[in-house]
Amino acid sequence: MTKTRKLKKIGFCICGSFCTISKAIEQMEILKEKNFEIFPVMSEAVISKNTRFGKAKEIINKIEKICEKKVIHTIEDAEPIGPKKLVDIMLVAPCTSNTLAKLEKAITDTTVTMAVKSHLRVQNPVVIALATNDALAGTAKNLGSMLNRKHYYFVPMVQDDIKNKPNSLVAEFGLIPKTIEKAYNRVQIRPIFLTKNSY
């Protein structure tokens, strides 16, 4: 990404905002095409639940085919990520309000939160692609806190359905590569909050 520091390895955590997982996988494919080595991490919910948006096994198979690696899906397997310096940057896409709250409180009781905590141990950047229906309600306090937390960077967000879901915010997944590039160099991409024609 820069002449002096090159981003090569990405941790890609997927949480249970099931309706946005397909968008996340699209960006995973784009990153793979750019020759990044991707270490996939899946939450307990995604690894085990079949929904109207897809069957767990099919999602796992697709991700492992893209990444050419087995999915990390246990706390024990996520713990060595930081000490072994497996990745240069950690992406959580999609990140649910539940996971965001746990990160804000430094709670480590899932595979994804352990992956992030372990990665932060060596003070490397974490990119959050939020997807939640209550970002401007119950999650607002946690979001505000995390926007000011060191080592965390956010993919720009948009209110995806102002009429039917007035408190909802969803990351613009297409901006994940640009956000990662800037975050790797310790810069938050701007603007963080978008309107449909602001970029």
Beta strand ranges found along the chain (DSSP E): 9-14, 37-42, 89-95, 126-132, 152-154, 157-158, 169-171, 193-194
Of 145, 149, 144, the C-alpha closest to 116 is 149
Does this model's pTM top 0.75? My answer is: yes
Q: How confident is the model at residue 197 (pLDDT cuts 50, 70, 90)?
A: low
The residue type of 75 is I
Amino acid 92 reads V
Is the pLDDT score of 71 beyond 60? yes
Distance of CA 157 to the CA centre of its chain: 13
Q: Given pLDDT bands bounded at 50, 70 and 90, which one contains residue 2? A: very low
How far apart (Å, rounded) are the C-alpha atoms in residues 99 and 152? 14
Locate 52 and state its tokens: 């109207």
Q: pLDDT tens across 120-165, in order?
A: 999 999 999 999 999 999 999 999 999 999 999 999 999 988 899 9
All structural domains of the chain: 9-194 (3.40.50.1950)
Q: Give the pLDDT of residue 199.
A: 44
